[in-house]
Structure 1
Amino acid sequence: MFHLNLPLRTLVILGLCQFGRRGLASAPELREQPKKIAIVGAGIGGTATAYFLRQEFGDGVKIDIFEAGTVGGRLATETVAGAEYETGGAIIHPLNLHMKHFVDKLGLSPRKDVPSKMAIFDGKELMFEESDWFIVNILKMIWRYGFNFLRMYMWVEGVLDKFMRIYQYQQFGYAFSSVDRLLHAMGGDAFLTMANQTLEEAMMGEGFSQSFLNDIVAPVARVNYGQSVRINAFVGAVSLAGADAGLWAVDGGNKRVCSGLLYNSKAELIQARVNAIALKHRPSKTGNSVNLYEVNYVSQSGSAHSLYDIVILATPLHQGLSDVSFVGFSPPLPSQFPGRYHQTVTTLVHGLLNVSFLGSSADPASFLYSDILTTEHKQLAINSLSSLDPVSIPEGYKRPPASHPGVWKVFSPQPLTPEQLDGMFLRRDGVWEKRWLAYPAYRPPHRGTPPFQLAERLYYLSGVEWAASAMEMSAISARNLALLAHHRWHHDTSKVDQEDLHTRLRGEL
């Protein structure tokens, strides 16, 4: 079982969750359940959707998940020198309640914690070096930036307090038809404003200094989203929450959550690429015509198709990530939505770090910084440099100092050249590269975020990424879509796009 010391607000929400299973008035009488549901994509969003759909519709429905690649999607690992290392989504926040629930439900465990230290590189030297002593770090920050650092944590804490409301809504069965409505349920107009202004604008408006934004906030945005303080303020707050204490990961790799959810949901994995979804009209037993969705796909066995009552797209419908076409819809549905995904290149290097590349004259044997963040610098080719630990931590493991060969992860916007790698490493025993279209290119204001519902019984999960891309955001979207699909199927509108939870709770209590 997975246990952590939870803050009071989390315990209150978990308590409400138990009440929520029986506390509000019962839903209208349900009609016959759907027979078949298709999910396109087996990443964290798709597999979580299968898990939640099974909860909502029961054991009778057949759930198929189509995946052309590997289960896990952007949660992935690479084997280097006989051990596995994360190459995709790496960290989970302690307040990510869905991810916590998945790990507990699936019998997984959090990875053993390995102490780490951070430094910030400005292209010439290490301008900030974290100490082993918390109070020393605080005093350093106060000396250089006043109370900006403490105020930042208070600002992020305020955002998280509002963010946590979504778990209450979902436990009581509330669903939302658009990303904007979901954000408004969490944080009202303030969250909608944050989604349509830059992080720089929002924090400057709160009185943070430009030097603090450039030196501290921008490096965090660069390591988490490969972008600057000109990302939207909501995703910026999510990014800054990723600098909190208590971050964790799954023992054996975060992708294990996806394979576990797939197994737990009893969904069938179909290794195939979906290329079209067509609206079909079929006669029913009563003589009336019913609409079904024909999913057309290509597998190793060739082309095939199958009919479904409900289809959920859990893969981004954007250039370079999808070529699904929609046939027979009026008005027509776009095969790709506006906006583009930002490229981040992950390079794993098994070798010996050149500490002088970082402008450091320290003895490599005493260089123990595991995470090197970077400020914006025109001549700097990387966003971050991190010493990696394997996804399963062996007994007695200690992260090697820079004087010993280790596995390093480099994030960069473009593939690194041999000359660039030569400058960073004294020796390279192996290099592995993965190019990700990892998350949206955030350029607020972003108008027209794709809806959760594209057509009757056709849903889209990945629109939530335009608010913020994270494992927990995908899990929240998955829960929302399962609820929305259930309510729409049974023609129950009482908990769709409503924000009256607390009013109803007061009435019930």
Structure 2
Amino acid sequence: MHDTHSQYIRELADSQGLTVIGHIGVPPPAIFDGRSLVWAESPWWLVNLVKAVWRWGLNPWLLQRYSAQFWDRFSAVYELQTQGQAYDSPEDLLRAAGVYDDSQVTLFEAVEAALGEGGWGTDLFKTEVVGAITRAAYGQTSLQLNALSGAAALLAVTDPGGFSIEGGFPGLASALLDSANASLHLGAESGDFDGIILAAPLEGSQLDLAGVPDLAPRFPRSFVPTVTTLVRGRVRASYFGQPAATQLQYGRVLVTADSPVPFSSLAKVQLAPGQPSLWRLTSPKTLSHAWLSIVFEAGWQVADATTWAAYPRSDPPEDFSPFLLARGLWYNNALESVAGSLEAAAMSALNTALLVKRDVKARLDGT
């Protein structure tokens, strides 16, 4: 998460007294093309500057400008919600913030416009940097991903300053439920309620929304499966084209768009003194024992492997399900199909709360 670009999540964590950990001193990232590290960040900024210009020209700064301009527009959502503005559909919300058009084009098209064509290192930059980021963040290419989701992913690289929450997001969710005095009812089949908020993806849910017309065609979206594998052991530096006798010096390795390797990212998630490190790999399919034996030195162990429907499959121009399904029925996940992040989920939740507030006021006024 990012201090500036995840304001709601940061505020929620602070409100619950949870420990927020800044990502200071995280080992620098690297980019792998399947044969060698085409980019290995140095702790010296001047070295990085020279290397970046030599390989990619001015494209890193053009991308940074594009991301900053996008954020200037997207952050208008915070001001609108502070004013109490509520919207019946994601289209209305995104249009009010000035970013609806970003959901209607691919990230590739948006980056083409931002970087231009044929400049020094442009094609290489798209494949190695933009492609690596979208592959790691959403398991999709810039040709598949809409520019709204893609620009949000690029912000994490063009404007670094991340944080994490001790206990993870399950800890945050648990703390919020406790503070709200929420009650969980299992096995309840029916009941009368003043209002209902659906807080789960309707795609694949098999929910029958009787009396809500013409909604079924709005939920055809599939999800991109992702396998998260935790491996305890030591990475073979030689797999990444580094000297065999050394340790891999980078805490996170991304993979270029055209790399044939079966994983999307590799990240160190635990440093335990005297014990092998714990590494997290993401991949579109289950990683084989044979392949893991190539990447890790003898003695490695899989601590966990989980397959999950991680991200909505992007298909711009995007269509949206409404927040307001019917009087007294709201859909909290309407924005997820185009901006699948925790901050976007928090924005959706606040918009839904504002819609409920508007409805309650209207009922009290007799309208």
Same fold (TM over 0.5): yes
8 Å contact kept, 1:318–1:336: no
Structure 2 vs 1, CA of residues 384 and 456 (structure 1 numbering), >3 Å: closer, same or farther?
same
2:103 pairs with 1:195: yes
Q: Could you tell me which residue of structure 1 aligns to residue 119 of structure 2?
A: none
State the alpha-carbon separation in 1 of the partners of residues 86 and 171 from structure 2. Answer: 27
State the alpha-carbon separation in 1 of the partners of residues 257 and 131 from structure 2. Answer: 7
Q: Could you tell me which residue of structure 1 aligns to residue 150 of structure 2?
A: 236
The one of 52, 55, 58 equivalent to 1:144 is 55
8 Å contact kept, 2:139–2:264: yes
Deviation of 1:143 (Å)? 1.2
Give CA deviations for 1:303-351 in whole Å, capped at 9, x if unaligned.
Answer: 63332111111111113xx222223x15364398111111111000111
Deviation of 1:133 (Å)? 1.4
Larger radius of gyration: 1
Q: Could you tell me which residue of structure 2 aligns to residue 352 of structure 1?
A: 234
Q: Compare the two structures and name the one with the higher strand fraction.
A: 1
The one of 184, 199, 203 equivalent to 2:95 is 184
State the alpha-carbon separation in 2 of the partners of residues 477 and 389 from structure 1. Answer: 32
- 1:250-399 alignment runs, 5 A limit: 250-270=165-185, 272=186, 298=187, 304-319=189-204, 322-327=205-210, 329=211, 331=213, 333-334=215-216, 337-361=219-243, 363-365=245-247, 367-377=248-258, 379-389=260-270
State the alpha-carbon separation in 1 of the partners of residues 213 and 26 from structure 2. Answer: 55
2:122 pairs with 1:212: no
- Aligned residue identity for 1:104: D
Aligned identity (percent) is: 31
State the alpha-carbon separation in 2 of the partners of residues 422 and 185 from structure 1. Answer: 52
Q: Could you tell me which residue of structure 2 aligns to residue 249 of structure 1?
A: 164
The one of 300, 304, 307 equivalent to 1:428 is 300
- How many pairs does the alignment contain? 354
- 1:433-472 alignment runs, 5 A limit: 433-446=305-318, 448-472=319-343
Q: After TM superposition, what 4+ stretches of structure 1 lie above 6 angstroms from structure 2?
A: none
SS in 2 for 1:438: strand
Give CA deviations for 1:344-376 in whole Å, capped at 9, x if unaligned.
Answer: 1100011121222222225334x3201100012
State the alpha-carbon separation in 1 of the partners of residues 212 and 113 from structure 2. Answer: 44
- Aligned residue identity for 2:81: Q
SS in 2 for 1:342: strand
State the alpha-carbon separation in 1 of the partners of residues 201 and 289 from structure 2. Answer: 32
SS in 2 for 1:242: helix
The one of 79, 86, 92 equivalent to 1:175 is 86
Deviation of 1:155 (Å)? 1.1
Q: Compare the two structures and name the one with the higher helix fraction.
A: 2
- C-alpha RMSD over aligned residues: 2.0
Deviation of 1:269 (Å)? 2.3
8 Å contact kept, 2:102–2:148: yes
State the alpha-carbon separation in 2 of the partners of residues 421 and 150 from structure 1. Answer: 36
8 Å contact kept, 2:335–2:348: yes
Q: Could you tell me which residue of structure 2 aligns to residue 25 of structure 1?
A: none
8 Å contact kept, 1:326–1:335: no
State the alpha-carbon separation in 2 of the partners of residues 203 and 214 from structure 1. Answer: 12
Deviation of 1:484 (Å)? 0.9
8 Å contact kept, 1:111–1:252: no
8 Å contact kept, 2:81–2:351: yes
8 Å contact kept, 2:33–2:259: no
8 Å contact kept, 2:233–2:277: yes
Structure 2 vs 1, CA of residues 195 and 383 (structure 1 numbering), >3 Å: closer, same or farther?
same
- Aligned residue identity for 1:172: Q
8 Å contact kept, 2:19–2:166: yes
Q: Give the gaps of 5 or more residues in structure 1.
A: 1-90, 273-297, 391-396, 493-509
State the alpha-carbon separation in 2 of the partners of residues 420 and 362 from structure 1. Answer: 17
SS in 1 for 2:115: coil
8 Å contact kept, 1:118–1:371: yes
- Aligned residue identity for 1:324: L
